[in-house]
Amino acid sequence: MKRMSVLLSTLVMAGAVLAASPHSLAYAPGLTDGPSAGGISTDNVEFIRHIPLSTNGVGGRLIDDYFYTNDQNKIMIFDVATPEDPQLAGFLPMPQEWLLSREDIDGNGEILVVPNTVTGTLYIVDVEDKSNPTILSELAGAQSHTSSCILDCTWVYNSSGQIIDLRDPAKPKLMKEKWGEGKPASSGHDVTEVAPGLVLTATQPIMLLDARKNPRKPKLLAIGGNDDARFIHTARWPSGGKDKFLLMAGETNFKVQCSESSAAFMTWDASKWKRKKTFTMIDEYRMKNGTYADGNPPANVSCSTHWHEAHPDFHNGGLVAAAFFEHGTRFIDVSSKGKINEIGWFLPHGGSTSAVYWVTDEIAYAVDYNRGIDVIRFTGKV
């Protein structure tokens, strides 16, 4: 979600750094030889560079050799032919969103679908010319926090439950049908197309929808819920929906201290859905408060997970990069049984990390509300 200023958290973390001697930081177990220009980390994570080009950097999308990212008031396109040194290829000013900035932008390399919660408009952006992206069309009344491409961006499902016909991207049409109509959940924070026409929803309960035959009336294939009815923020299914695990996350804002009610990163069993038509949670992982030098800030604005992404080699377990706001980027190992274990982290100076994206099998881009983009490398074994 769009976040308020994290000045309090930044001051607290800065104070913790000043209180710790350089010697204690340099030789604290698990840390590198000392804090980098970008932050502190475990010794299996390397800070490469910082790109301070975002105001409330929210999210992004890697498509071929380009990384598309956004903030409150613009779209940016980076050429990532050299992943360690992304170059700004083009940008497009957008109507400013001072609240609930669009997240998880989507596209197919030719167009981007960009919602705006303030104007209540869905913008279709032509990105064929990376140096000169332009607004191709606008659709009023399609207000949403997230909007996702379905079937190669010929259709869009949004977080408000709406369905948009985008077969002619110059003339988008809002359908009267809703993707959650007659189903256990009618809207949610996000939807993700895990394979062409197969859609996983970040709702409570989670739903797997089949839009292949009729995108205007998707079929419900399976569901999965929590007894505590917790908010589901992010839904991912590695290997194109063929993995035996779902990777899910929640969100809790304005939690100064971490607790058992803080939003968790979760693994869910997806191995039996065809037979049982259900998904069930296996394990969950939450942050804790600490001393900052140990990778855990003493206080935070939101003790919560946010967006995450499985490593390109993830298969029935493996590595996940996850954003945890003031707790930065956490590298998580999921075992073959779905158990969760943190194996590394990068905690930026004065940061609030929104999302993390694998650009190669080693390099990830951490998009940060306060900082812009941090380019980091995971050097541990996958």
**What contacts 78, CB < 8 A, 6 or more positions away?**
66, 67, 68, 69, 86, 87, 88, 89
Q: CB-based contacts of 41: which residues, under 8 Å, 6+ apart? A: 31, 32, 47, 295, 344, 345, 346, 347, 376
DSSP 8-state secondary structure symbol assigned to residue 325? B
Report yes or no on 249 lying in a domain.
Answer: yes
Answer whether residue 250 is part of any domain.
yes
In-domain check, residue 1: no
What order do you get walking across the sheet with 74-79 strand by strand?
59-63, 66-70, 74-79, 87-93
Give the torsion sign (CA, 301, 302, 307, 310).
positive
For residue 156, being part of any structural domain is answered with: yes
Beta strands of 147-197 (E only): which ranges?
Answer: 147-150, 155-158, 162-165, 173-178, 190-195
The answer to whether the CB of 199 falls within 8 A of the CB of 192 is: yes
Residue 176 within any structural domain of the chain: yes
Does residue 2 form part of some domain?
A: no
Total domains, the chain: 1
Residue 56 inside a domain? The answer is yes
Domain-embedded: residue 35:
yes
Euclidean distance between CA atoms 91 and 56, whole angstroms: 16
Find the helix or strand (DSSP H, E) in which 346 lies.
strand 340-348
| Tokens linked to 41 | 């980390």
Q: Rounded distance, CA 134 to CA 77, Å?
A: 12
**What CATH number is associated with residue 232?**
2.130.10.10
Range of the domain at 349: 7-378
Single-letter amino acid, residue 5: S
> What is the Cα 202 distance to its own chain's centre?
12
Cis, peptide link before residue 35, omega less than 30° from 0: no
How far is the CA of 265 from the CAs of 201, 300, 350, in angstroms?
16, 17, 23
Report whether 1 contacts 251 (CB < 8 A). Answer: yes
- Tens of pLDDT along the chain (382 residues) come to 444 434 334 433 433 333 333 322 332 344 444 578 899 999 999 999 999 987 788 899 999 999 999 988 899 999 999 999 999 999 999 988 877 788 899 999 999 999 998 889 999 999 999 999 999 999 999 989 999 999 999 999 999 999 999 999 999 999 999 999 999 999 999 999 999 999 999 999 999 999 999 999 999 999 999 999 999 999 999 999 999 999 999 999 988 999 999 999 999 999 999 999 999 999 999 999 999 989 999 999 999 999 999 999 999 999 999 999 999 999 999 999 999 999 999 999 999 999 999 999 999 999 999 999 999 999 997 5
